[in-house]
Amino acid sequence: MALSLPLFPLGTVLFPGVVLPLHVFEARYRALVQELVALPDPPRRFGVVAIKAGHEVGVDGVTALHDIGCTADLRRVEQYPDGRFDIVAVGLERFRLGEVTGDELLRSEVELLADPVGPQDAALAATAGRLFVRYREALLTAQGTSADPMPDLPADPAEVASLIAASMVADVTDKQTLLAAPGIAARLREEVRLLRRELGLLAHSASRPAVELGRAPYTAN
């Protein structure tokens, strides 16, 4: 399915179901929010795509984008007197970027991508979940912080995959690899690989950044 979307390039990767709060101050993205608010009915979609080269801020800041992104649904808007916005959006579906047009506010005809489920998803989610618990504990131990109880992971393997992907301390390249994985099983397998790699690194590292437990904000709606 093809969909025409305004784009919001970011220095991070959005995953389906994950909550994305943004502070909007540039004129072009203020215009994007105003355009979305003016739509008669939800979902009020825009495309979030990670920056491959360049910077978030400035007209000439973005020089290249990754080719897989995630649609976002605008859920909450707070406008300031000076025209800035605080917004909250939620990731919906992965997409493949088409031709990008526009000078300031970028747009693209995108192809929505399915996330096929398979018989191995539940077992892979359980393995990834166990490794993530160990990973979080290892991060906290490296910081000298006691581990408070982690909330239970969701039962849905797709939700587990998104939560782990969003919560891991990883660079954009690794997170983009997770987003581009063709299906839930492939994403979970890659997470298992990355978690094992990170556990090995943590065993030989004095300190690493903290992970927000399993608390990357998530909604199934």
Overall CATH class of domain 2-113: mainly beta
- Using the predicted structure, report yes or no on whether residue 93 has a pLDDT greater than 70: yes
Lowest pLDDT segment from 15-24, 162-171, 203-212 = 203-212
Lowest pLDDT segment from 1-10, 48-57, 79-88, 160-169 = 48-57
- Using the predicted structure, report yes or no on whether residue 116 has a pLDDT greater than 70: yes
What percentage of the chain reaches a pLDDT higher than 70? 86
Give the domain 121-202 fold: Methane Monooxygenase Hydroxylase; Chain G, domain 1 (1.20.58)
Task: Identify the residue with better confidence: 164 or 215.
Answer: 164
The model's pTM? 0.86
HEC string for the chain: CEEEEEEEEECCCCCCCEEEEEEECCHHHHHHHHHHHCCCCCCCEEEEEEEEEECCCCCCCEEEECCEEEEEEEEEEEECCCCCEEEEEEEEEEEECCCEECCCCCEEEEEEECCCCCCCHHHHHHHHHHHHHHHHHHHHHHHCCCCCCCCCCCCCHHHHHHHHHHHCCCCHHHHHHHHHCCCHHHHHHHHHHHHHHHHHHHCCCCCCCCCCCCCCCECCC
Domain ranges of the chain: 2-113, 121-202
58 — pLDDT class (breaks 50, 70, 90)? very low
Report the distance separating Cα 88 and Cα 21, nearest Å.
4
Give whole-number Cα distances, 36 to 43, 89, 139, in Å: 9, 11, 39
